[in-house]
Structure 1
Amino acid sequence: MTGYREIIDGNGRLYRLGETDRQLMGRSRRWMVFLPWAAMMAISSSEYAFTSAEDTLSEAHGWHGAHIFWLLGVWVFFQAAIAFPTGKLRESGRLSAKAAMMCGAAGTIIGYLALAYAPHVLVAYLGFSVFGGLGAGMVYATCVNMVGKWYPERKGGKTGFVNGGFAYGSVPFIFIFTNYMDVGNYGPVLVGVGIFLAVAVAATGFFFKDPPKNWWPAHVDPLKVADDPKVRRSLSKNPPAVKQYTPREAARTPVLYLMWVCLLMTAGVNIFGIAFQVPFGKEMGFAGGIVALAMSLKAIVNGTGRGVIGWISDRYGRRQTLTIVCWVLGLAQFAVFLSGSLGNMPLFLLASMISGFGGGAIFPLFAAMTADFFGENNNASNYGMVYSSKLVSGLVGSGLGAVVVGVWGYGGAFVLAGCIGLFTGALSFMLKQPGRSGSGPDVDAVPMTRATVG
């Protein structure tokens, strides 16, 4: 058995030290960054590339245009709904990371088969929105929380990198669905894409492995982080949770609900942009290739922005970074509408990229912030509670967004989305770590208890 020791700091938090990543799983913990990243890329097309297939699916199946937006909205609902149950099953040991990923692979292929061959739109809702959404949600919840467990001392940048795959992995499929797929070949194209993505999810998930509870990297002493300037800077700006909160304990803190509301509003704005940028661009007279390029750039910046913003938040603080991101997201909605109304293609592309940056950055920030506030041991469940706000934001951003566009037009809808983003930025000032009275971590505390385990 691998030897380790347990340290309890001045706040009562326990750390398990002494075991290296190679001792625990036979390889570097970097594998638990790149494998989840690849899996996240594989599931991203269902959300970010879906509306690029809108015209073909509507024409081929005879579905009314509103069904396209509601199919996406319901997919997002189930993708978010499964996060908390997946976390609870994972943390209880009843569902391994590998098993969760295999379920995700099955949901992926079922979703694409439903889009290709559904005899009725209700079958598409069941296959794509329900089973496809549940599968993607299990992959998402497993991947995002996996990396935080293996990098508890610098989780922002790594979480952002993995989370970024959920956006830019869709780029080739945006072009395929926009420029290649048509009513004559949509069935084989969708089935081929589904098989390829399902195999990618299963292959990466086969190698997933969790670290032990309370694990901390052997080369970083949590009580002497001053010896490592990079780690000290990260922990001084984002102090570790004062203890490992259970979901029940986290649910008793007001900040959990405030995080839920903030993610609800920002995710709603992000999903609104994903769902309506393509039809808005087409209505403003931009060619299909330009609209596809704008959506691709949005997805690329959305994904890369997640990694960059995670690194920035490690250096300058999660909450401070979140405030700026919310304001950028809000202002970008005004810019998208203005540039489209003026027919200014370069400005439309730029505004689309900025909107993608802001919309993507919120998710790794909240994922890392949840671990900062409530600890890593139960982060899958705790983040599942925060992420459950996407249950509502998906329906609001896509389905209800269609209603708002129908009543107020694109102008009213984009202005409303922009105002929501700005308001959320102001609301984020109220996010404070529970249980900590000071502004920084008690990094130099003397351990209360030390135990050696053989």
Structure 2
Amino acid sequence: MSKPDGQTDGYREVKDVNGRVYRVGETDQQILGRSRRWMVILPWFAMMAISSSEYAFTSAEETLSSAHNWHGSHIFWLLGVWVFFQAAVAFPVGKLRESGRLPVKAAMMLGAIGTVLGYVALAYAPNVFWAYLGFGFFGGTGAGIVYATCVNIVGKWYPERKGGKTGFVNGGFAYGSVPFIFLFKSYMDTSNYSGLLLVVGLFLAFAVAASGFFMADPPKNWWPPHVDPLRASADDPRIRRSLEMNPPAVKQYTPMEAVRTGILPLMWFCLLCTAGINIFGIAFQVPFGDEMGFAGGIVALAMSLKAIVNGTGRGVIGWISDRYGRRRTLIFVCFVLGLSQYAVYFSGSIGSLPLFLLASMVSGFGGGAIFPLFAAMTADYFGENNNASNYGLVYSSKLVSGLVGSGLGAVVVATWGYGGAFILAGSIGLGAGCLAFFLKQPGRNLRDLRQESVALSA
């Protein structure tokens, strides 16, 4: 006896009016043998493990410069090179992951290897070339593989409410660095740095590998059975509101189709601007605080608060975007990020410690919130099946923003001083907020949204 169209063992495939396919009927327990919540928890642990390489790196600046006799600018360019390769691998890793040639476990093992090589290079590099190779190339590449894998797997398992989940996982990339900021700033010195960095690298690599061992992808086009994809309805009011404010993509766009819409390039440029500001703050807040006369412990506290708010803000902003819409939330975040740069400089220039700490936290919130917003927005606009590649293209803007925010930022500080650099960063943030007004979901017009709103309320 033949089965109905689209019906297969354990699941069936349905199409909406735009021709998009949904695979429904299978639960997460049937596919994984456990709750899909593990596909949030495990990537979150892995993201925390790779975060110290970016967010805690400049806290080790003085020790590394003294121990290796590196010129001060090398520290900032090392971070820039790390960010460059961390972003550079996003698109190729996405293509390999989506083609099935790079399974999730293999990707995470490669990320673990890159993580430990990065720390070994910082500990034992005989000259700065090996630091660029080990930390910048291998460490950045390993972190990029982990980042691309973890961020995109969440949206696949939570296609109906991806903002908060993606934000939570993305947040680990910031606040996971907090203990290492204090460790590198307050405890590490030229007498113990090599052994300490080796132990830290081995510990973090093990965390990445252990998390990745238990991760798995859902089938293509998978959709949770308790949510009707054709009506975008569910018993949970949170899901209904999220789908109303952020309706699913009209089709599964390939990377080139996404580029041809014109929206993906605009997203790329907006992320370039905002990510550059975030990297600038990470690279220069510690030396700026030192120059303004704040004690080392206070500067470490400010950087830690920035990392904590940066990370927790990613989860909060993801939840907010589920309720009020991705684009609207992104515009708000861009303006907050821009204005906070003015506040950081002003508070430091007048020597106000409470205001400096507050401005640092607000800046951290804005700098962190942009990443889960763009990750979720990419899936909303272009679909989940090719999201690793599509978001890889958007995220590739960090190739430029890392070098601009860290390396070129050092040139701007040297030429214009901290005042000119922070004012320029703030103005770029406000400009990005204006550009975000032009982001809209391809293939969907206002009438479509009104019809879907009626269906949701029915």
Q: Shorter-chain-normalised TM-score: which range?
A: over 0.9
Partner Cα distance (2:439, 2:396) in 1? 18
Amino acid at match of 2:188: M
Residue 284 of structure 2 is matched in structure 1 by: 276
With over 3 angstroms needed to count, the CA separation of the structure-2 counterparts of 1:244 and 1:220, relative to structure 1, is same
Partner Cα distance (1:183, 1:444) in 2? 62
Partner Cα distance (1:224, 1:239) in 2? 11
Residue 351 of structure 1 is matched in structure 2 by: 359
SS at match of 1:225: coil
Is 1:331 the counterpart of 2:349? The answer is: no
Residue 449 of structure 2 is matched in structure 1 by: 440
Of the candidates 112, 118, 128, which is equivalent to residue 121 of structure 1? 128
Percentage of pairs with the same residue? 78
Pick which of 388-397 and 216-225 moved more: 216-225
Partner Cα distance (1:307, 1:396) in 2? 27
Residue 5 of structure 2 is matched in structure 1 by: none
Amino acid at match of 1:349: L
Residue 197 of structure 1 is matched in structure 2 by: 204
Partner Cα distance (2:454, 2:357) in 1? 51
Partner Cα distance (1:301, 1:307) in 2? 10
Displacement over 6 Å in runs of 4+ = none
Residue 411 of structure 2 is matched in structure 1 by: 403
Partner Cα distance (1:445, 1:7) in 2? 21
Partner Cα distance (2:197, 2:449) in 1? 51
Contact 1:239–1:372 (Cα < 8 Å) also in 2: yes
Residue 77 of structure 2 is matched in structure 1 by: 70
Is 1:51 the counterpart of 2:55? The answer is: no
Partner Cα distance (1:298, 1:231) in 2? 31
With over 3 angstroms needed to count, the CA separation of the structure-2 counterparts of 1:441 and 1:179, relative to structure 1, is farther
Is 1:109 the counterpart of 2:116? The answer is: yes
Gap regions ≥5 residues in structure 2: 1-7
Amino acid at match of 1:246: T
SS at match of 1:257: helix
Is 1:176 the counterpart of 2:214? The answer is: no
**TM-score normalized by the length of structure 2:** 0.96
Matching of residues 304-453 of structure 1 within 5 Å: 304-438=312-446, 440=449, 443=452
Partner Cα distance (2:47, 2:220) in 1? 24
Partner Cα distance (1:189, 1:364) in 2? 32
Residue 167 of structure 1 is matched in structure 2 by: 174
User: How many pairs does the alignment contain?
Assistant: 446
Q: What is the CA-CA distance between 1:445 and the residue it aligns to?
A: 11
Partner Cα distance (1:37, 1:227) in 2? 27
Partner Cα distance (1:184, 1:2) in 2? 63
Of the candidates 6, 10, 20, which is equivalent to residue 13 of structure 1? 20
Partner Cα distance (2:288, 2:441) in 1? 40
Partner Cα distance (1:173, 1:380) in 2? 29
Residue 304 of structure 2 is matched in structure 1 by: 296
Residue 4 of structure 2 is matched in structure 1 by: none
Of the candidates 142, 146, 149, which is equivalent to residue 142 of structure 1? 149
SS at match of 1:15: strand
Residue 187 of structure 1 is matched in structure 2 by: 194
Partner Cα distance (1:442, 1:17) in 2? 23
SS at match of 1:289: helix
With over 3 angstroms needed to count, the CA separation of the structure-2 counterparts of 1:243 and 1:442, relative to structure 1, is farther
Residue 219 of structure 2 is matched in structure 1 by: 212
Partner Cα distance (1:54, 1:69) in 2? 9
Partner Cα distance (2:234, 2:113) in 1? 46
Partner Cα distance (2:61, 2:451) in 1? 53
Partner Cα distance (2:398, 2:232) in 1? 36
Deviations 1:368-389 (A, max 9, x none): 0000000000000000000000
Partner Cα distance (1:383, 1:204) in 2? 22
Contact 1:222–1:443 (Cα < 8 Å) also in 2: no
Residue 79 of structure 1 is matched in structure 2 by: 86
SS at match of 2:349: helix
**TM-score normalized by the length of structure 1:** 0.97
Partner Cα distance (2:384, 2:451) in 1? 18
Q: What is the CA-CA distance between 1:11 and the residue it aligns to?
A: 1.6
Pick which of 58-67 and 433-442 moved more: 433-442
With over 3 angstroms needed to count, the CA separation of the structure-2 counterparts of 1:307 and 1:338, relative to structure 1, is same
Contact 2:59–2:184 (Cα < 8 Å) also in 1: yes
Contact 1:236–1:441 (Cα < 8 Å) also in 2: no
With over 3 angstroms needed to count, the CA separation of the structure-2 counterparts of 1:217 and 1:284, relative to structure 1, is same
Pick which of 2-11 and 14-23 moved more: 2-11
SS at match of 1:213: coil
Contact 2:244–2:453 (Cα < 8 Å) also in 1: no
Of the candidates 260, 263, 281, which is equivalent to residue 268 of structure 2? 260
Amino acid at match of 1:163: N
Q: What is the CA-CA distance between 1:329 and the residue it aligns to?
A: 0.2
Q: What is the CA-CA distance between 1:249 and the residue it aligns to?
A: 1.2
CA RMSD of aligned residues (A): 1.2
Q: What is the CA-CA distance between 1:13 and the residue it aligns to?
A: 1.1
SS at match of 1:66: helix
Of the candidates 224, 249, 264, which is equivalent to residue 241 of structure 1? 249
Partner Cα distance (1:205, 1:332) in 2? 36
SS at match of 1:16: strand
Of the candidates 15, 31, 39, which is equivalent to residue 24 of structure 1? 31
Partner Cα distance (1:393, 1:368) in 2? 20
Amino acid at match of 1:51: T
Amino acid at match of 1:321: T
Deviations 1:187-209 (A, max 9, x none): 00000000000000000000110
Amino acid at match of 2:400: V
Partner Cα distance (1:121, 1:81) in 2? 21
Of the candidates 90, 97, 105, which is equivalent to residue 90 of structure 1? 97
Partner Cα distance (1:230, 1:251) in 2? 31
Q: What is the CA-CA distance between 1:443 and the residue it aligns to?
A: 4.8
Partner Cα distance (2:41, 2:196) in 1? 27
SS at match of 2:86: helix
Partner Cα distance (1:294, 1:444) in 2? 44
SS at match of 2:260: coil
